[in-house]
Chain A
Amino acid sequence: MTASLTGDCVIELTNIVGERYITDDPVTRFTYTRDASLFGGTQAALIVRPGSTDEVSRIAALCNRHHVPIVTRGGGATIYGQPKGDPERTVLLDMTRMDRVIEVNTAGMTVTAEAGIIMGKLVHACKKEGCYIYAPFAPVHIVSLGGWMSGAAGAASLWPDIVSITVVLADGTIVQTGGGPGTNVHQPIFYNRNLGGPDFAGIFIGDGGSFGIKTEATIRITTYPTKLKAGIFAFDEIEPALELVRLHVERRPVQRFDPVLVFGAGAMKNFMGDSDEIAPFTVQAMIQGHDEAEVEARLAIINSLADQCGGKHNFMLDAMAEAMGTPTGEESEMDWMAIFNSFGIPAWLPFTFPRQGFAEVYKKLIVWRNERLNEAEKLGLHLRTTWEFFTSTDPSTIIGEIDSFFADVDKPEAIAFARTLMADFQKYAHSLGSIDVYNQGFMADLNASCWSPGFRRLFEAVKGAVDPNGILNPGLWTGSYLNEKEGSNG
C-alpha cells in the first residue's frame, strides 16, 4: 500500500461530507495527535467528521479504491494510544458527530444509537425513558459506543447485551449483524443477535476497529433500578475477601445489578484520608434493584456471605454504605474522571486474571509495583496516591487495577516514567497470565505478541477477507508500539 492522498481524493471526500466537516488545517490535525493516553493519538493528513453510515460507506469505498489508510477515532479516550497513522496519507474519521440515539425501544427493551455517541449521552437517553444500559467500569463521559465495542475485549462487559452492530467494511459494504432489518434475517425489529447464521457481531467486538467501521449498534436494556443499597466490609487478608467474591459470583454469573468491588488500602485512603479504620482490603457490595424488598433481600444475602468470610464492619464503612443508599435527588453517578484527574499523572495498571489462584498473583503484582514506586522516589518523582481495585465480572475472571498517580504533572520525566511503568507492568502481568481487556495501541500489540500461530492465521484470514488492502487502522496488532522506546503524548 503506497498510494498517497491525491487532490481528487480530497475533493471527493469533501463532496461526501461537505466542506464544514473536513479539514487539513495543521492546528486541527495536531489536536488529533494526542488523546487521553500517555501513548498518543494519530498523525493524519485529513480529519473528517462523517454524519451518517452512508457517508462512512462512501468514504471507505473511496479510500479503499485509492489505498488510503483510515483511522477511526471515537472519544479519544484510550489509555494505550491509537494507531499512529501517517501525516501524509491517513484519513482520520472523528466519529463523534454520529451521536444520535435512533430509538429507545421500551417495548422490545433495546436501544439503537450511532456508534459515535458518548456513553454518557446513551446512558442519559435510556434513563430518561426509565431504562438502564449496563455500562460499568469505564468513564461514561468520554468513551464512545463504537470505541467501547472496538477497543475493549467483551466491549467492556457490554458483550452479552449487544444485539446488532452496523459495520462498514473497507470496501464500503454495509453489514448489519444479528436478526433485524437489513440483516441476514429480515425482521422488522432488532431483537436477537444469533439468528440466521454465525454470531458475526462477535468478530467486531474488541477488534480495535480493524475489521470494519462501526456506525450503529443495538443494545439490550432493562428497566432502571431506582433503589440502591450497599454493604461495606473490612478484611485483613486478600484470601477471605476473594472468598466473598467467589461465593457471590458463583451464585450469580453476570452481576449486572450487584457488583462486589474490592478496594486496597491505597484506594480507600482517597475516600477516608489517614483514618486508622482503613483495612488492607475493603469489599463494597453494591445492590441495585427495583424495590426496597428486593434490594433488602439481596443485601441480607451479601451480609450473610460476608459474615461467613469474616468480613468486619466499622462505623465509617457503615456510614459510607448508608450514604451510598440514600437518594439525594441529585444525579447519583460518581464522577470518577474528576477524582482520578485530580490525582495527577496516571500510570494505569489494569489487569485481567483467572479468579483461580488470583490471591498469589495479586501479591506479586503489588510487590512488583511497589519496587517500581521506590525507584520513582529515588528519581525524585512524587507519588500522589495509589488505587488498588478488583472485581469479578463472571465466575471465572478477575479484572482490576493497581494504579499509581504522580504529582509532578509538568515534569516530562514523570510522564515518561508513568508510560514506561504502564508498558512494563503489562509485560509483567502477561508473564503471569494476564490478557488485558484493552485492544488499543500498545496493549493490542502486546496481546497480539502472544497469539498462537493458529490464532494469528485466523485473524489474518478474517482481516484479509474484510479489508484486503489493509486500510483500516493499519499498524494495530503489528508491534508498532512494542518496537518503539517512547510514546508521543506529552
Chain B
Amino acid sequence: MADTAFRELDRVRRFIYSCRTCGVCRYKITEKVPYVCPVKKASPGFENFSSRGKIMLAQALLEGALEPSAGLARAAYSCTLCGNCMTQCGATDQDTGKPLVDNTAVVEALRADLLRESPGLVDEAYHRVLANTRQYGNPWGMPRSARGKWAKGLKLKDAQKEHAEVLLFTGCTMALNPQLSQRARKAAAVLKQAGVDFAVLGNAEPCCGSVQKRTGAFELARDMMNSNIKQFNSLGCAVIVTLCAGCCNMLKTEYAKTDEKLAPKVYHLVEYLSRLVKDKKIAFTKEQHMTVAYHDPCHLGRHLGIFNPPRDILRALPGITLVERVATREHTICCGAGGGMRLFDGGALAVDMGREALQAARAAGAQAIVSACPFCETNLETAAQGFDAPFPVYDIIDLIYDAAELNG
C-alpha cells in the first residue's frame, strides 16, 4: 500500500507515538471515575475495544505490521469519540501544554484512511449516512423539504430574507426527527419570550458536517464546512445558537480550522439561555417537582468545557432539584450515541451504554435525566424503553418551556 494510504494517521502520528499504551484509558477507577470507556464496558472487553488497543492498531498500520481488514474497521468504529480516555489519561504535551494524546483525533483519522482507501471494509450503515448526505443534504435520508416543517405556523423570521441578530440553528437531528422537532418549536418560543431577535433558515438550513467528520468522511465534511461558512457569513447575523451539542462542537472547533473563518459567534442554546435566565429575561412561573440528573453531552461538556450553564438554568427552574451522578462534568460517561455507535452492530452496544447512564442517574436519586443534545436524548430514550421502570428523558428546553408556561 502506498505511503499516502494512511495520510490522516500520519498527520496525527505525534499523538499515536506519544501514547505509552500504559492502559490507564482501559482501567482507571477513582471516586469520580467508575470506569473510563463505555465501549469497553458494554463490549466483550478485549484490548481492541479500548483506546490503547486502537492506538496500537494505528501504530501497526503506520509501521506496516497490519493491513486494513474488516476487523480493523470494526475496531475503528467501536468508539464513541467521547474523549474520556484522553481526560483520564491526563498526560500533557510538554511542548504545547495540550493533551498528550488526542485519542479521538486518532480514531477519526483511522476511520478516514479506512473509508477512503478501503471503503469495502467499512460497514454499510456508515456508507448509507454518507450517501444520504450527498443525496438529501442530511445524514438521515429525509427530504430537504422536510427540514423547515418544525417551524410551520410559528411565523419566524427567514434568515435569508430578513436580518436578525441571531440565527437559530436546529441541526438535522432536531429538525428532521418528528419526536424531537417539538423541542425546536419550544426553543423558538423561549427565545421569543425573551425578546431575542432571531431567524431560521427553514429548508435552506444545511447539515453542519459533524456526523460526516466523525464517520471519517473528511473531504465531504470539509466541503460542507466551506459551503456553510459562505452561507452563514452571508446572512449578516452576529450569533449562531445551536440546539445540538454535536453541531455546536463542529461549528466552534472544526470550523475554526478552515481557511475562511466563520464570522458569527457560536453558542449552544444552554450557553445563550443561561445569560438570559441570569438577566431575568425569561420568567419561570410553574413549579415542576422533580429531581433530575444532568447528562453532559460529550461534545458540549468534555470537548467544549460547557458544564455550568445548563446547571445554572436547571437550578433556576422552580421545583427542580439537580443531583449529580458519580461520574459527572468532565468525567461523564458517554450515553452511547457518540461517534456513530448507534450504527455499530445495529446499535446494541449504544443502548447498553445508555442503560448504564440511566442507572447511574437513578443511583444518584434522580427521577429523570436531562440533557442538551438530540443524539444523547434519542439513545437514552431507546435505553429507557428497555428499562425496568419508567425513567423520563428530557431536553433541557422541555423543562424551560414548561417552567415558563409557554405555548409554541
Contacts and interface: CB of A to CB of B under 8 A. Distances in A.
B96 to A, nearest CB: 11
A343 B90 CA distance: 13
B178 interface: no
Nearest to B95: A407
B92 interface: yes
A43 B344 CA distance: 28
B22 A31 contact: no
A409 B18 contact: yes
Contact of A27 (B14, B28, B52, B75): B75
A77 B24 CA distance: 10
A26 B69 contact: yes
B57 A77 contact: no
Contact of A410 (B14, B32, B45, B94): B14
Contacts of A36: 20-23
Interface string A73-100: 0011100000000000000001011000
B407 interface: no
A118 B29 contact: yes
Of A30, A49, A333, the most chain B CB neighbours within 10 A belong to A30
A300 interface: no
Interface in A310-343: 331, 333, 335, 337-343
B48 interface: yes
Contact of B48 (A27, A49, A142, A346): A27
Interface in A231-283: none
Interface stretch (A17-25, A153-161, A216-224, A431-439): A17-25
B46 A141 contact: no
Interface residues of A, number: 46
Nearest to A408: B17
A333 B24 CA distance: 14
Contacts of B219: none
A25 B71 contact: yes
B28 A120 contact: yes
Contacts of A96: 26-27, 45
A76 B31 contact: no
Interface in B34-72: 44-48, 52-53, 56-57, 59-60, 65-66, 69, 71-72
Contacts of B281: none
Contact of B24 (A32, A337, A409): A337
Interface in A356-392: 384
A124 interface: yes
A341 B100 contact: yes
Contacts of A341: 18-20, 22, 89, 91, 100
B56 A124 contact: no
Contacts of A121: 27, 29
Given A30-B60, A32-B47, A343-B94, A75 B20 contact: no
A118 B45 CA distance: 14
Interface string A408-424: 01100000000000000
Contacts of A120: 27-30
Nearest to A118: B27
B47 A139 contact: no
B162 interface: no
B93 interface: yes
B60 A141 contact: no
B94 A77 contact: no
A87 to B, nearest CB: 13
Contacts of A141: 23-24, 27-29
A76 B46 contact: no
Contacts of B303: none
A270 B13 CA distance: 26
Nearest to A34: B56
A163 interface: no
Nearest to B20: A341
A31 B46 contact: yes
Interface residues of B, number: 43
A23 B75 CA distance: 14
Contacts of B71: 25-28
Nearest to A141: B28
Given A31-B48, A34-B56, A342 B100 contact: yes
A114 interface: no
Given A121-B29, A342-B94, A34 B21 contact: yes
Contacts of A77: 22-23
B72 A335 contact: no
B57 A31 contact: yes
Given A27-B69, A30-B65, A97-B45, A142 B100 contact: no
A345 to B, nearest CB: 8
Contacts of B65: 30
Contacts of A342: 91-94, 100
A342 B100 CA distance: 7
A490 interface: yes
A47 interface: yes
Contacts of B14: 409-410
A27 B72 contact: yes
A445 interface: no
B23 A75 contact: yes
Contacts of B94: 342-344, 384, 407
A94 B91 contact: no
Nearest to B18: A409
B24 A28 contact: no
A48 B152 CA distance: 57
Nearest to B75: A27
Of A26, A139, A142, the most chain B CB neighbours within 10 A belong to A142
Contacts of A410: 13-14, 16-17
A207 interface: no
B316 to A, nearest CB: 26
A253 B72 CA distance: 52
Contacts of A171: none
B31 to A, nearest CB: 6
Interface string A177-190: 00000000000000
A350 to B, nearest CB: 16
Contacts of A339: 91
A257 B56 CA distance: 38
A20 B90 contact: no
B56 A75 contact: no
Nearest to B67: A26
A30 B57 contact: yes
B44 A331 contact: no
A337 B22 contact: yes
A401 interface: no
| A-B pairs, 4 with minimum CB distance | A338-B90, A27-B71, A31-B47, A410-B17
Given A75-B27, A142-B26, A342-B94, 17 more contacts: A28-B46, A47-B46, A75-B26, A96-B26, A120-B27, A139-B24, A141-B29, A142-B22, A142-B24, A142-B27, A331-B31, A337-B22, A341-B89, A342-B100, A344-B94, A410-B13, A410-B17
Interface of B: 13-14, 16-24, 26-32, 44-48, 52-53, 56-57, 59-60, 65-66, 69, 71-72, 74-75, 89-94, 100
24 contacts: A26-B69, A27-B71, A27-B75, A30-B56, A30-B60, A30-B65, A31-B46, A31-B47, A36-B20, A36-B22, A49-B46, A75-B27, A118-B29, A120-B29, A121-B27, A124-B31, A139-B24, A331-B30, A341-B89, A341-B91, A341-B100, A342-B92, A410-B13, A410-B14
